Structure 1
Amino acid sequence: MPKINGNEIRPGNILEHNDSLWVAVKVGHVKPGKGGAFAQVEMKNLRNGSKLNERFRAADKVERVRLEQKDQQFLYESDGNLVFMDTETYEQIELPADILGERRPFLQDGMTITVEFHDSEALSATLPQKVTCTVEETEPAVKGQTAANSFKPAVLDNGVRVMIPPFVGEGEAIVVNTETMEYSERA
């Protein structure tokens, strides 16, 4: 693994520190009046989600880890695990359902997601940025309400609540941004 200096750490970098894998969330470079400069790094553990604040001087060396990204196709769910198939080798893997976190309801049959691996351990999974869903229930549009930039609550077919524009009705397909969990456009 390549080693980098403490002042080269950037947000999003994956680091091996204290025999664990961490992602740098925030990095602040501090130059105190007395003493040498350092990087104040807020890190999140990729395995258990704990957070850590650490100081790295420019002379400190840390290992930067590169994760291998593979496309996996969702097959089915069994006993709280999600079963995926590698789109190149056709190998099947099982991952815990909580690897997707609050974005889990947007996972659809046959959807291809990106899973990041370190050695053979799956650390994180990313859904496509935009997913098409159907509006199950919403309140009817009120005439004359379209003048202002207003939104109304809606429940999607996967049970997620989002705010949609007044011109979208029940049964219509919409595109939802999975990163912000907000309405994006009509499908």
Structure 2
Amino acid sequence: MNHSQLFIDSLIHPKKLAAYRLLPIGKVIQYTFLLITIVTVFSFGRFTAGMSVNTFDMTSINGLTEYIEGIKWLLYPVTFIMLFVFTTMLIFGQIALYALAGLFILKVMKRRGEYRHIWRTTTFAMTWAILISMLSDYLPINSTIISIFSLLLTVTLLTIAFTKYPKQPIAK
């Protein structure tokens, strides 16, 4: 299974997400890092487009402007690495928290599944939320509303995927 097929299925086939719980963890981690790389490159592009020396055009900070111009070659790689690390921590933290919530949803739905399966399903269910949050600055909507919408969307996609998980055996 290639990453483009996983990406497309994550966007338009929420019921297939349950089947992806059986993928090897390496494939899921690769997909996660692919999403992290997309977000990092997008954020870095926004950073470099917004980085302008003209914002430091005041005469009292002329020395600071010259200093920034002198170390600009160092600023970009460090910024990219820091963006990648922080984005990685943020997305893996979100996946872990959504998977924990998914564990409780799974119990309420009386379905069988382990945390590792839910974690894998959550990774694919978060694709929409990651894309929406990445593009949120271009939408005329408050970021709090976008965050709540992303949360509800991820939980909804998880719930749809959980309908395909096996049912718990009936206790006698």
TM-score bucket (shorter structure): under 0.3
**TM-score of the aligned structures, taking structure 1 as reference length:** 0.19
If asked which structure has higher relative contact order (CA below 8 Å, sep 6+), I would say: 2
Higher strand share: 1
Larger Rg: 1
**TM-score of the aligned structures, taking structure 2 as reference length:** 0.20
Higher helix share: 2
